[in-house]
Amino acid sequence: MRSDNDNWEIDTGVGSTALFVAAARTLAGREPDALAVDPLAEVFVRAAGGELAVLIDGDPELSKDHPLRTEEFGRPFREHQAGRTRYFDDYFHAACDSGIRQVVILAAGLDSRAYRLPFFEGVTVYELDRATVLDFKRETLAAAGYSPLADRREVAVDLRTDWLNTLQDSGFDAERPTAWLIEGLLIYISPAAQDELFEIVAKASAPGSRVGIEQMTPFPADVYEAITTVNEDEPEDGNWARLIYNDPRSDAAQWFPGHGWNAERTELDDYLRAHGHAVPVGEDTGGFHPAAINLVTVQRPN
């Protein structure tokens, strides 16, 4: 279970979720009509080794029962990752087209956009995460010979604290419009920490700034209890659902308009369907369901 000041490595606790989604992006990107292709995702997974490396590189027979390969959980989850990658790639494209030159990626994890989005050339991209995650990312990419297209700056922080000064010490200018990204983060912080994070983002946003946000509706209590019950033969830290805060929380599509911003909320299910990637979801999804995910873009008027 979580505590409000816990920490992790790239392959433990919350850190391991960055590797898990990188593995899902790798598999999703190998589909013939993939919604998004992230060629760096597999570089991270391979460097970390273990069962995810077997999943992406090994004999498929060895990983046929891995959750990311199954129809019930794996397929919707892979489409979820590809869908959100595409949505936020397009979000950044539109922001850069509008003239924004400052990007802040909260909980960047193994996000590779600073290395792969051509319109990030000449843009300053701040990547915020825990030091252990940023260390793994830097060392892995340096060893593989990659360099960023953007002016990429690492900012090691705990996003449950007041991190704005540390961001500003890295060169961030709150007077310039910013495109922020909050993807794959909110479920890992408490509802109170989320509200504080929204306050900081809003406070540091010049007119014209935007925020891209991924949100998840909490699981119904009985489902959450069922999926967090650890079997005797299952390691406790292998249970993803035990890492999240499954409590009701502010909806970004309401919170930001309440502070004078415009908002547009898109249900992931609708987004996937509109892009020809509707996922049939069966009974046993391991709790995860694309209908629980929504993608939000908010903008502070000029």
Residues that bind ligand SAM (CB under 6 A): 14-15, 17-18, 21, 107-111, 129-130, 133, 158-160, 183-185, 188-189
Are 127 and 105 in contact, with CB atoms under 8 Å apart? Answer: yes
Sign of CA dihedral 261, 267, 272, 273: negative
- Between 119 and 163, whose beta carbon lies closer to ligand SAM? 163
Read out DSSP for 166-202?
A: HHHHTT--TTS--EEEE-S-GGGS-HHHHHHHHHHHH
Closest-by-Cβ residue to ligand SAM is 109
Query: 261: helix, coil or strand?
Result: coil
Angle, CA of 117, 277 and 88, to the nearest 5°: 30
**Smallest gap, in angstroms, from Cβ of residue 138 to ligand SAM?**
13
Sign of CA dihedral 266, 271, 97, 155: positive
**Smallest gap, in angstroms, from Cβ of residue 161 to ligand SAM?**
8
**Smallest gap, in angstroms, from Cβ of residue 48 to ligand SAM?**
13
Are 1 and 242 in contact, with CB atoms under 8 Å apart? Answer: yes
| CB atoms near residue 282 (< 10 Å) | 12
**Smallest gap, in angstroms, from Cβ of residue 42 to ligand SAM?**
13
- Between 123 and 128, whose beta carbon lies closer to ligand SAM? 128
The Cα 130–Cα 108 span in angstroms is 9
- Between 123 and 213, whose beta carbon lies closer to ligand SAM? 213
Q: Nearest to residue 287, comparing CAs of 253, 252, 244, 249?
A: 244
- Between 76 and 184, whose beta carbon lies closer to ligand SAM? 184
**Smallest gap, in angstroms, from Cβ of residue 226 to ligand SAM?**
22
- Between 175 and 288, whose beta carbon lies closer to ligand SAM? 288
- Between 196 and 251, whose beta carbon lies closer to ligand SAM? 196
**Smallest gap, in angstroms, from Cβ of residue 166 to ligand SAM?**
11
The Cα 214–Cα 142 span in angstroms is 29
